């Protein structure tokens, strides 16, 4: 789907989708969730570590604003550290299923000379409540608008989850990251801000990574602002701008509420690409990652907060 057509659809259906958000969260979830679905993810993560004690260990990113431990798995013991993180937006549970399937495959066959860190649920309160935003300080925040950015942000760091993740990528010297979202079949890269100066010095390198990641899915590939829409304060731009991390945004599938067969298809077409991405990813961060363009605030009207 072309970006212009996608934006037109959002303009037509956006209001209805927002109005239906509460209804969706109250209905039976396609995954047959109970009151605490995050407990199921914790069980799966613990089982993964038990099944692969030589290659997998648990870690805690930090505590959420709701007081839950944000858990993940470390897979492998290589010198290069890469990251997969799902569910910045809690209602995008298909991204968690893909992250867990990726972790399971990597645990069985770690990538040589790499350590892969997988965080299946970043936004725990949103995931438990099937809500996009995360609750903190008596209100809700969009976790993927909560990072510092060259063109501004809604934060920074209203949320403990985003602050912990920002500290983590610095401490672990993350080189390549894949953040998983739904729902627009695309894999994109910086810049995604409210600017018309969109091209980094690494356009060819980013395209190579995206093309490797989309061989099975055949998702659209390109710059985030051009392909989807501009948004300030995202993890993807922050990770590249601050550290030179090769940060890719996976918008997987075409729905926020995939049924079981759709989840399996998301896994089938995305996990091989994630593995291939991490296999060919650079071993060092990008050097020239400063933003030298001009922020165009007028483009922010296009940020409809749907990714």
More confident residue, 8 or 179: 179
Q: Which two tokens stand for residue 59?
A: 């870690």
Q: What is the pLDDT of residue 300?
A: 53
Q: What is the pLDDT of residue 35?
A: 57
Q: Residue 40 has what pLDDT? A: 95
Per cent of the chain over pLDDT 70 is 85
pLDDT of residue 306: 40
Domains of the chain and CATH, by start: 39-302 (3.40.630.10)
Give CA–CA dist 273/282, Å, rounded.
15
Predicted model pTM: 0.87
Paired tokens of 234: 């995202």
Average pLDDT over residues 257-271: 97
Q: In 27-150, which residue ranges form alpha helices assigned H by DSSP? A: 37-51, 93-108, 124-129
198: nearest Cα among 154, 162, 228: 228
pLDDT band at 194 (very low <50, low <70, confident <90, very high): confident
pLDDT of res. 185: 94
Question: Which tokens hold the place of 296?
Answer: 């165009």
Tokens standing for 225? Answer: 């602002």
289-300 average pLDDT score: 80
276 pLDDT higher than 50: yes
pLDDT at site 195:
85
HSE, side-chain direction, 13 A CA sphere, residue 58: 16
- C-alpha 101/C-alpha 80 separation (Å) is 21
Burial class, 44, CB count within 10 angstroms (exposed 0-12 / middle 13-18 / buried 19+): middle
- Digit-coded pLDDT (tens) for 51-105: 999 999 999 999 999 999 999 999 999 999 999 999 999 999 999 999 999 999 9
**Integer distance in angstroms from the first to the last C-alpha of the chain?**
15
Q: What is the pLDDT of residues 2-33, one digit of tens each?
A: 444 444 434 333 333 333 333 223 323 444 54
3-state secondary structure of 11: helix
Coil vs helix vs strand at 45: helix
User: Where are the strands (E) in 126-205, listed by range?
Assistant: 134-136, 139-141, 174-181, 186-189
**Secondary element (H or E) of residue 10:** helix 3-26
CA distance 221 to 214: 8
Mean pLDDT (the chain) is 87
- pLDDT number for residue 261: 96
């Amino acid at each position: 789907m072309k970006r212009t057509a996608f934006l037109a659809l959002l303009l037509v259906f956006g209001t209805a989708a927002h109005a239906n958000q509460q209804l969706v969260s109250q209905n039976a979830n396609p995954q047959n969730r109970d009151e605490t679905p995050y407990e199921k993810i914790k069980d799966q993560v613990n089982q993964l570590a038990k099944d692969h004690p030589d290659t997998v260990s648990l870690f805690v990113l930090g505590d959420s604003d709701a007081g839950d431990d944000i858990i993940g798995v470390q897979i492998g013991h290589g010198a290069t550290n890469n990251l997969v993180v799902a569910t910045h937006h809690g209602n995008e549970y298909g991204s968690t299923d893909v992250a867990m399937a990726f972790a399971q495959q990597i645990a069985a066959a770690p990538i040589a000379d790499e350590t892969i860190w997988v965080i299946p649920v970043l936004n725990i309160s949103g995931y438990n409540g099937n809500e996009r935003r995360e609750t903190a300080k008596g209100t809700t925040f969009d976790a993927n608008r909560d990072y510092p950015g060259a063109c501004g942000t809604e934060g920074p760091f209203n949320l403990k989850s985003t602050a912990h993740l920002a500290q983590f990528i610095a401490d672990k010297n993350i080189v390549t990251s894949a953040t998983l979202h739904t729902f627009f079949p695309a894999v994109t890269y910086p810049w995604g801000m409210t600017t018309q100066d969109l091209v980094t010095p690494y356009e060819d390198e980013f395209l190579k990574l995206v093309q490797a990641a989309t061989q099975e899915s055949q998702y659209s590939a390109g710059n985030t602002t051009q392909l989807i829409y501009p948004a300030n304060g995202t993890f993807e731009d922050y990770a590249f701008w601050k550290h030179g991390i090769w940060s890719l945004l996976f918008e997987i599938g075409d729905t926020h509420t995939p049924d079981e067969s759709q989840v399996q298809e998301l896994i089938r077409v995305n996990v091989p690409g994630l593995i291939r991405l991490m296999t060919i990813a650079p071993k060092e961060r990008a050097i020239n990652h400063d933003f030298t363009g001009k922020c165009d605030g007028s483009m922010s009207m296009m940020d409809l907060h749907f990714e």
